[in-house]
Every structure is written in structure tokens, then in C-alpha cells.
Amino acid sequence: MWNYNYILTGLLVLLVLLCHYLAMPRANIRINRTFIQLVNVQLGTLLFDLFSSRVDEDFAFIPVYWLYILNMAFFVFYLARAFWFYRITCDILHIRPEKEPRKGLLVASVVGVSELIALSSFFTGAVFRIGEMGYERGPAYSVLYVCWYFYLALSFVLIFRYRSRLSGYELFSVLGYNLILVIGNIVRVLLPRYLIMDTFCTLSILVIYLAFENPDLYLANRRIAFNMAALREEVTDLFAKKRPFHILAFVVQDYVETRGIYGGTQMDRGVDMIAQYLTLEFPSCRIFYLRNGCFAMLGPQRMPWDLIHEKVNARFQEPWIAGDAELYLSASYAQVGSDSGMESADKTINNLVRALNRASQSAGGMINLDTTRELDREAEIKRALEQALDQGKLEVFLQPLIDSRSRTLVGAEALSRIRGTDGRMIPPSLFVPVAEQSGKINSLGEQVFEQVCHFIRDNDLNALGLSWINVNLSPVQCMKKDLSDCFLSILTESGVSPDLIRLEITEQAVADIPLLETHIETLRQNGFRFSLDDYGSGYSNLSRVKHYPFINIKLDMEVVWDYFHDQDQLLPSIVQAFKQMGYSVTAEGIESEEMAESLSAIGCDYLQGFYFSKPLPLGEFVSKYSRA
């Protein structure tokens, strides 16, 4: 039996040492640190279990105090092990006992008292004593079981309570190793002479290692750097300890396209090279590769972050040599620190990721995450937009277009509206760009178009004095292949004539994009008509205007206001030129009678602005303009 125990202990020690060795390089990660503690305690228990059992056999030849010391040491480790298994369960469940020190202390006092009882055995013989026949169990031996069952029971309660924080696999693993511990405790009673508990505990440690310490969980692809999960852990830990930190992150611009150009293998090498460069050049920072060309460098706040940024940026001026290819890459940056006013680690990381997404769309430069509010607002807008689109809560308002001569209603522009969670209106100037970025603009455009078609179907436009309704078309919508098919099918389905709808396209949409031209041509052939929106706000290129089948030009509000404040000859000439070319002209942003008069005087055919009416909900529009 002894031989068996030696061999088994040797194997268990080796196994635990292996876990220790494999987990050590990542000892900065929160779960990992607890894991290392647990492994140390397990090693201590194994060794003292073996020593104490050995000397207990030969008790007659060993001084009594040695027998006490070795046995007491074993019990101290044995009991501590129960506590550390419980602690790692807390870490896995994202519970931080240090947040509630009183409760934490109370829970820890169980192991403390149990250990004191074990240590007192020297005087009291409570847990064990060395009698004439050597080692004997004492009357309070069951304290070992009480301590273990207390922590196991507590672990199960916590697992049950916080189970939603874990994935199925994690829940399975955490239940698994705790069950192994329960079985270990039961079998130990039945087979006290064998190293049962040690074997079961090592088994549990293996389960924890494989489920939660597996390098793949914390290291990015190809193991060149830590990954997102590791960054989250690390920042959570820094927050808990209130340690000032700073993260400088960057994204390789046009990562996906560049990958397409250089090929996956070369690009992977490039990413490796960047990680390697960062690791070697900035040893005091921890390097994370988040995904898709996004890197993060984490370090103490006191480091010269501006210089680090400059240095990294300078390195990006040079090519990255990957095999026989030279990769020319550029990066955009975002940074956040513990002084940026974020309340939690999760918020820090989520905002960093959003900032990186934004940085990837801007050319170079740096986004400082002090603009938390702005990012929060952006997230809120995105949420409100998705909700409005998914739940059919997108609202359409109509703003009248007035004939400048007769001053009567001739048309209306459909303008979309959504509401935030607080019920307040979010203006399109905020949500349209978000919709364009997230691709939701297609669904937004379709819903507005559908609502307008239904409005036309359900109302007598003539009775309202409307000859047509304008619908805005975003340049991004025109990038969708089935845009015209989709509009045409909505139109057919609602039985509306296309000449009652005008599509407004902004100037920047008038890019020389074949797809845009195809859409415009298809829609035109099917009876739609087009307006050029916001003329004068972007690139004003008359020849390009001519290239498209517009029938109407809408002067941008700024242009109208500029003219009204400083009446030079430029705008009247432009309006005249447009009119000679056969376009009708609309002036937007008319806010007073004087403006209405002066813009009519230079030849604008239609007027739109708050002076006549703000955009109104469909119902209000109908009641206001119903002639009946």
C-alpha cells in the first residue's frame, strides 16, 4: 500500500506541477492567480499528507513534536484547500468577496476557526493526538468535514444563484469539479487509508485547468498575445484594486480589405510581427490582440503614453516584413485610462471596442475615450433605432412644401423620427448616420417608403392639396443591389402611382457609382422622379448634376441663410441657371416672411421651412391641411 501511495503522490505532484507550470505565464489574470494559490495549497497538502502518513507509521522513532508539526501542517493545508476551491468558484462566477469585506471575513472565518482547532490539537488533542499507539483521531476530527461541506454547500448555492453568468460549458465544468469534491469527501470516509481526497482534488484542479485556465481561453490566435477575455479579466482586476491604468489601442486600417490584398497567411504574419514588436519594444505593457487587426496595450497610468503612441505610429510608417512580402499598414488609435470616468471594467472595454470601431472608419488619428457620454449616446441611439425598426415604431412626419407664388401647399417631405427610451425624439441628424454605419439604413428607408405609400393609398392627396411626397434616399441605401426591386414591389403592393413620389438624394450620393446610376435609371423608367437634396452643402458640381435625371434642386439651408444675410449675386445666378436648364428650385430652411419673399424673388419655385410648418406627425398633417 505504501508503494502505491508514493507512486500516486508522485503522479499527483507531477500533474499539479504541470498545471502550475502551464498556468504561471498568465498569472496576471484574476482567475489565474487564485488558481495558482489553489495549486500551491494542493502541493502543500500532498507533500504534508505523504510526510505525516510516513512519520505516523514510524512514530516510535520520531520525536513527538515532529509528529505534531507535520500532522498540523497537513491539516492546515487540507482545510485551506476547501477554502481555495470555494474562492476559485467565486472567481469563476464573477463574485468579488473583497467587495463585501464583512461577509467575506465571515465566510473566511470558518476556515480560520477550523485551522485554529486543528492547531490547538497540540495542547487539546481536538482533531488528533499522538498517543502511545501513535497518531489517533481526536473528538473534533469532524471539523474537517464541517469545513469542507460548508464551503462546498456555499459553492453550490452561489452556482445556483449566479448560474446565468456562465455559459453552458462553464456551468457544467464548475458543477463537475464541485461534484468531484463532494464524491471525494464521501469516499474518504469509506477508504480513509488511501490518498482519496488528494486524487479527487487533483482531478478537480485538472477540470478547472482545462475549463478555465486553458491557454486558448486567454491567448489570442496563434498565441502571440493575450486576447479579449484576458483584457477584460485584467481590467476587472485593476478596477477592483483601484490601480490607475491606461490602455492605448489601435486598429490596422482596412484590415479586412488589406487581408484580401496581401492574403491571409501574410497578414497573419504581419499581425504576429506587430505583436512581437510591441512585446519587445514595450516590456512594461501587456499586449492584447483583440481581433481583426485590433491591438491593445495595457500599462500603469504613469507611463509616457504620448511617446508610446508616437513611437508605435512612427513604426507604422515603415513596412512590416512578413516572409518575402512587405506589408504597408496604417493604424488608427483609441485610448482610455482609469481617469476617463468609466464606472466599470465592462464599460471601459465596451467603449474601447466601440471607439476602435469608430477609429477604423476614420483615417488615422486618435479617439480619446473621455467622450464617454458621446459614446453612450451613440449606443443608446443604436438601441433605439434597432428597437424602432424591429417593433415597427419608426414614425414618419411630413413637412409642407409651399408654392412660392400662390403660397399654397403643393407637396411634402417625409422625415423619419424615432424616440429614445425616455420617449424623447431623437433627430435624424443623429440616427441616420448611425443607421448608415450599421447597415440599418436599408430597413429604415424601406419602412419610411412603405409608410409613405400607405399614407398615399389611405388618403386623398388632392383633398390635402398635395401633388407629391418627397422621400429621402441615403447614398448608402443605393449601394444595395435590390433597392429598386424592393421599392417597386412595395409600390405595386400598395397600388400607388410612382409619380406621386419624389426621391431626394443628397449631393454626396451623386458619386460616379454604376450601381447608383442603375438604380436611378430603373426607378426613373418605372415612373419615379428625383430631387437633388442639400445643394451647396457638399461638392457642387454642375456637370454631375446634369448627368442625373433630376427635375428639382433643393438649396441647402445654409446656402439659403447665407444668401439671406448677405445678398450677393451668386445664388440668384445659380437659381437662374438651374431654371434655364429646366429644373425647378426649392429653398429649404425658410423661417420668416422676409426669407420667403427674398427667396421667391430670386426665382425659387417652392419653399420649405418652419415659417410654414415644422414637420408634423401624419395625423396632425392631415387634420391641418384637410380642406373638407
Nearer to Mg ion, 237 or 534 (CB): 534
Distance of alpha carbon 321 from its chain centroid, rounded?
32
We find the least distance from the C-beta atom of residue 542 to ligand C2E, in angstroms, to be: 20
We find the least distance from the C-beta atom of residue 29 to ligand C2E, in angstroms, to be: 46
Nearer to ligand C2E, 152 or 574 (CB): 574
Please work out the total of residues on this chain that contact ligand C2E, with binding judged by CB under 6 A. 23
Q: What nine digits make up the cell of 525? A: 423608367
399 backbone dihedrals φ, ψ, rounded to 5°? -115, 130
Distance CA 489, CA 497 (A): 12
- Kindly report the three-state secondary structure assignment for every residue of 87-136: HHHHHHCCCCHHHCHHHHHHHHHHHHHHHHHHHHHHHHCCCEEEECCEEE
Of 502, 504, 506, 505, nearest in space to 468 by CA: 502
Identify the three-state secondary structure at position 485: helix
Q: Does 49 bind Mg ion (CB under 5 A)?
A: no
Q: Does 590 bind ligand C2E (CB under 6 A)?
A: yes
Answer for which of 472, 484, 531, 600 binds ligand C2E (CB under 6 A) is 472
Residue list 498-537, contact with ligand C2E (CB under 6 A): 504, 533-534
Distance CA 622, CA 88 (A): 65
Residue list 369-408, contact with ligand C2E (CB under 6 A): 399
Distance CA 397, CA 212 (A): 53
Residue list 593-622, contact with ligand C2E (CB under 6 A): 608-610, 615
Q: Does 588 bind ligand C2E (CB under 6 A)?
A: yes
Of 214, 159, 152, 161, nearest in space to 188 by CA: 152
Give the x-and-dash track for 488-527 against Mg ion (CB under 5 A): ----------------x-----------------------
Q: Does 589 bind ligand C2E (CB under 6 A)?
A: yes
Find out whether 607 and 555 touch, Cβ atoms under 8 Å.
no
Give the x-and-dash track for 556-585 against ligand C2E (CB under 6 A): -x----------------------------
Distance CA 78, CA 41 (A): 8
Find out whether 396 and 452 touch, Cβ atoms under 8 Å.
yes
Q: Does 474 bind ligand C2E (CB under 6 A)?
A: yes
We find the least distance from the C-beta atom of residue 84 to ligand C2E, in angstroms, to be: 59
Of 609, 621, 610, 613, nearest in space to 463 by CA: 621
- Kindly report the three-state secondary structure assignment for every residue of 231-278: HHHHHHHHHHHCCCEEEEEEEECCHHHHHHHHCHHHHHHHHHHHHHHH
Answer for which of 174, 432, 434, 464 binds ligand C2E (CB under 6 A) is 432
Q: Does 448 bind ligand C2E (CB under 6 A)?
A: yes
Answer for which of 115, 198, 533, 605 binds Mg ion (CB under 5 A) is 533
Q: Does 447 bind ligand C2E (CB under 6 A)?
A: no
Answer for which of 164, 429, 543, 580 binds ligand C2E (CB under 6 A) is 429
Answer for which of 427, 538, 549, 617 binds ligand C2E (CB under 6 A) is 427
Q: Does 450 bind Mg ion (CB under 5 A)?
A: no
Among 28-36, 275-283, 456-464, 587-595, the segment contacting ligand C2E (CB under 6 A): 587-595
Identify the three-state secondary structure at position 506: strand
591 binds, among Mg ion, ligand C2E, none (CB under 5 to 8 A by kind): ligand C2E
Find out whether 520 and 530 touch, Cβ atoms under 8 Å.
yes
Which helix or strand (DSSP H or E) is residue 530 part of? strand 529-535
Distance CA 575, CA 585 (A): 7
Among 74-82, 277-285, 443-451, 588-596, the segment contacting Mg ion (CB under 5 A): 588-596
Distance CA 196, CA 184 (A): 6
Distance CA 95, CA 107 (A): 13
Answer for which of 415, 503, 509, 604 binds ligand C2E (CB under 6 A) is 415
We find the least distance from the C-beta atom of residue 407 to ligand C2E, in angstroms, to be: 16
Find out whether 481 and 515 touch, Cβ atoms under 8 Å.
yes
272 binds, among ligand C2E, Mg ion, none (CB under 5 to 8 A by kind): none
We find the least distance from the C-beta atom of residue 592 to Mg ion, in angstroms, to be: 18
Nearer to ligand C2E, 251 or 448 (CB): 448
Q: Does 472 bind Mg ion (CB under 5 A)?
A: yes
Q: Does 173 bind Mg ion (CB under 5 A)?
A: no
Nearer to ligand C2E, 232 or 554 (CB): 554
We find the least distance from the C-beta atom of residue 238 to Mg ion, in angstroms, to be: 48
219 backbone dihedrals φ, ψ, rounded to 5°? -105, 140
605 binds, among Mg ion, ligand C2E, none (CB under 5 to 8 A by kind): none
Of 508, 593, 533, 598, nearest in space to 562 by CA: 598
Of 479, 497, 478, nearest in space to 488 by CA: 497
Answer for which of 112, 125, 428, 572 binds ligand C2E (CB under 6 A) is 428
Which residues sit at the interface with ligand C2E, rule CB under 6 A?
399, 415-416, 427-429, 432, 445, 448, 472, 474, 504, 533-534, 557, 588-591, 608-610, 615
Which residues sit at the interface with Mg ion, rule CB under 5 A?
472, 504, 533-534, 588
